[in-house]
């Protein structure tokens, strides 16, 4: 079977090279006669992988020394709770900017823990066609933190410039936005991301957090949910998801050997430009509901004139070995997720198909 | 390289057949042209695996219909917190029986959440040489639940008969005790287990919980940490650790095809009997610090006359391709973990080596 042209939103396509490496050494990791899955998390073989993974995150994202890099479990959904559990103490309140389903979920979870307020929203008729401009935000200068979701997989919007929250720590869910370009980590208090878009398989969660926030975090919550517990133990407080971290290491190695972050960003911008151009040049047939300034480089959403045509489009795409193009069940339409591991050729194949289908 | 003779305490040896299957289809799951890791957790391919994994747990452990089977993240350490978060409401208190390092950790974590008391302990001079008898327990008939750790990986003790807690739900950490024999699930309110001993790779946590306890669980805690959230969503509330669950499915398939639970229990008891006999027949050289009635079938611990001899033993074992025999860093000595995936031949090789080493 030929490799599928995979536009899944996450779990998503992984670099073939990272998978092939895993396959080669699945039964025998580096001549040890054991799978990496069978190694103790306290042994040299796994610890080497663990430390490499963290070092590669630090290197590729230029993480400053005053930040901890943690590898946790539970995905972004667990972080929706852990962020306020650690950082929100009465009487303080936290600010949430609503730009889609995931930021609303994060906000709702914060309300189960403490005080939170909406510092801005672009919701209109249940949909989000853009992210807010800086002038639209009503930030609380006393907030414990301000939370944004930097890329919205469902609505296909993305923050291209991050808001300036002054002395208030900026907390960002970057699950579908991490590591496709360089960012200035020092502008954030805390960044979290489920691995299953750009980093690796599901089951690993990356947290990058300023050490001062870790130190100031609440101590009256369960030990296992305190960031400090994992920071003090190099993410080895309890047994980590060793295979997931191993595969994340493989993926980061591919990024590094593929020319680094600048080249990666250029490839991603080129892919997105190609796809948006294909939509815009047939604007009476394909329609992107997202305002131009908010269009996501990772998740490209568009609609066709009717639901019937969309169903036909998906069926024809499937025949061409293209999968994962169905929009999220909550909004419908078409969505092509074009993360790091989606090569330009796949986007070209999609664009070619779009032209033929419209004709 | 020959396959290592792996006595790791966890992550531990996995059935070779389960790994080989994973290796074969790592790049192409069932002709889909994608790794199972690249499939959406909402797609048919992964959902099939997910449902099979849960069905196999139900079948192999004969889980009654009034119990939910959940596949979560965070390991036993996260359950140390989630159990009291869900089940412990003021003014109730929870009972903890202390039989080793893990039960002490569970108890300490409960204290960060609510009221908990020690209902029994076998600690003596910082060590645990046995589990308590029923008559030693001082159970609170009003307790929210009573918690035990059924097998203690570090001290090599195991509950061979479970205490009768009457109307108080019995909660058991079975991380290193799960699925090596049949149990009567109906005697427990909740069972939890990190996967990385008998079930699969690290990063997956099995929870088997009576539906009435799920329904009565607290609602004033974060959504993602409520059992009901995962029960209502078939463990697909958020993205599950798909590859870990896939491998767990592979492992359970091996158990099922290997003759089922009765045959498995017999193999495990035979392996343990062989190893304990080798210790006891040279009692002046090898010494098992665990009382006979509490000896673990999963983790066999023993000491040699001096620390120097133990170091030499480990070095010689390494030359014979045996790994993972070093006792836990907190207690020293030797430990052989002989979970399901450790074949009898490996135990025979160890016994053979022990005889030669002593001579």
Identify whether B292 is part of a domain: yes
The values of phi and psi at residue B298, to 5°, are -100, -45
Please, are residues B333 and B301 in contact by the beta-carbon 8 Å criterion?
A: yes
Residue B83 has a pLDDT of: 98
Residue B329 has a pLDDT of: 86
Q: Please give the average per-residue pLDDT across A310-315, as a whole number.
A: 98
pLDDT per residue as tens digits for the range B265-312: 999 999 999 999 999 999 999 999 999 999 999 999 999 999 999 999
Same domain flag for A291 and A327: yes
| Residues of A designated as active site | 102, 173, 197
Q: Which two tokens stand for residue B193?
A: 């287990």
| Contact between chains at A80 and B224 (C-beta distance less than 8 A) | yes
Q: What is the pTM of this model?
A: 0.98
Q: Please give the average per-residue pLDDT across B163-181, as a whole number.
A: 97
The pLDDT-based confidence of B359 (bands split at 50, 70, 90) is confident
Collapse the DSSP code of B337 into the 3-class scheme (helix H, G, I; strand E, B; otherwise coil) and give the result.
strand
The pLDDT-based confidence of B330 (bands split at 50, 70, 90) is confident
Please, are residues A115 and A261 in contact by the beta-carbon 8 Å criterion?
A: no
Residue B1 has a pLDDT of: 63
Q: Is the ipTM of this complex over 0.90?
A: yes
pLDDT per residue as tens digits for the range B117-156: 999 999 999 999 999 999 999 999 999 999 999 999 999 9
Same domain flag for B293 and B244: no
Q: Domain boundary at A257, A281, A303, which?
A: A257
CATH (domain of A53): 3.40.640.10
Same domain flag for B115 and B235: yes
| Contact between chains at B11 and A223 (C-beta distance less than 8 A) | no
Q: Which residues pair with B300 in a beta bridge?
A: B336
The values of phi and psi at residue B124, to 5°, are -140, 120
Domain encompassing residue A318: 259-358
Residue A117 has a pLDDT of: 98
Residues 197-236 (A) with a CB less than 8 A from some CB of B:
201-204, 220-225
Residue B249 has a pLDDT of: 98
Identify whether B7 is part of a domain: no
Residue A329 has a pLDDT of: 86
Same domain flag for A265 and A282: yes
Please, are residues B45 and A41 in contact by the beta-carbon 8 Å criterion?
A: no
**Where are the strands (E) in A89-195, listed by range?**
93-98, 115-121, 123-124, 127-128, 146-149, 151-152, 157-158, 170-173, 190-194
- A–B CB contacts, 8 A cutoff, strictly below: 218
The pLDDT-based confidence of B91 (bands split at 50, 70, 90) is very high
Q: Which two tokens stand for residue A280?
A: 């815009």
Q: Please give the average per-residue pLDDT across B26-36, as a whole number.
A: 98
| Contact between chains at B12 and A38 (C-beta distance less than 8 A) | yes
Q: Which residues of B touch A26 (CB under 8 A)?
A: 19, 22-23, 26
* Preferred mutation among B86, B202, B328 to probe A, highest tally of A CBs within 10 A: B202
Same domain flag for A128 and A172: yes
Q: Which residues pair with B69 in a beta bridge?
A: B208
Please, are residues A42 and A236 in contact by the beta-carbon 8 Å criterion?
A: yes
Alpha carbon A93 to chain centroid, angstroms: 26
Identify whether B104 is part of a domain: yes
pLDDT per residue as tens digits for the range B71-82: 999 999 999 999
Residue A225 has a pLDDT of: 98
| Contact between chains at A202 and B19 (C-beta distance less than 8 A) | no
Same domain flag for B242 and B187: yes
Residue A1 has a pLDDT of: 63
Please, are residues B3 and B9 in contact by the beta-carbon 8 Å criterion?
A: no
Q: Please give the average per-residue pLDDT across A50-58, as a whole number.
A: 98
Shortest CB distance from B225 goes to which of A3, A8, A81?
A81
């Amino acid at each position: 079977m030929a490799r599928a042209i995979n536009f899944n939103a996450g779990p998503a396509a992984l670099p073939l090279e990272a998978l092939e490496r895993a396959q080669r050494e699945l039964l025998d990791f580096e001549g040890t006669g054991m799978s990496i899955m069978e190694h103790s998390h306290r042994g040299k073989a796994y610890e080497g992988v663990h430390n490499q993974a963290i070092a590669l995150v630090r290197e590729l994202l230029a993480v400053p020394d005053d930040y901890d890099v943690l590898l946790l479990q539970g995905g972004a959904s667990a972080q929706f709770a852990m962020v306020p559990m650690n950082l929100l103490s009465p009487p303080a309140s936290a600010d949430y900017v609503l730009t889609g389903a995931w930021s609303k979920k994060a906000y709702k979870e914060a309300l189960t823990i403490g005080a939170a307020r909406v510092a801005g929203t672009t919701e209109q008729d249940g949909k989000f066609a853009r992210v807010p401009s800086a002038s639209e935000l009503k930030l609380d200068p006393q907030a414990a933190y301000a939370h944004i979701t930097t890329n919205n997989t469902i609505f296909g919007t993305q923050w291209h410039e991050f808001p300036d929250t002054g002395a208030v720590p900026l907390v960002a869910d970057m699950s579908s936005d991490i590591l496709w370009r360089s960012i200035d980590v020092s502008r954030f208090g805390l960044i979290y991301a489920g691995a299953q878009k750009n980093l690796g398989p599901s089951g690993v969660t990356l947290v990058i957090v300023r050490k001062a926030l870790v130190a100031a975090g609440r101590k009256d919550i369960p030990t296992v949910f305190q960031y400090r517990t994992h920071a003090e133990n190099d993410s080895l407080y309890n047994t980590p998801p060793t295979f997931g971290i191993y595969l994340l290491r493989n993926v980061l190695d591919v990024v590094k050997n593929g020319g680094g972050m600048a080249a990666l960003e250029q490839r991603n911008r080129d892919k997105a430009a190609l796809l948006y151009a294909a939509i815009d040049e047939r604007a009476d047939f394909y329609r992107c509901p997202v305002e131009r300034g908010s269009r996501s480089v990772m998740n490209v959403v568009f609609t066709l004139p009717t639901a019937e045509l969309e169903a036909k489009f998906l069926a024809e795409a499937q025949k061409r070995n293209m999968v994962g193009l169905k929009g999220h069940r909550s909004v419908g339409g078409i969505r092509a997720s074009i993360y790091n591991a989606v090569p330009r050729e796949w986007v070209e194949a999609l664009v070619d198909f779009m032209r033929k289908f419209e004709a």
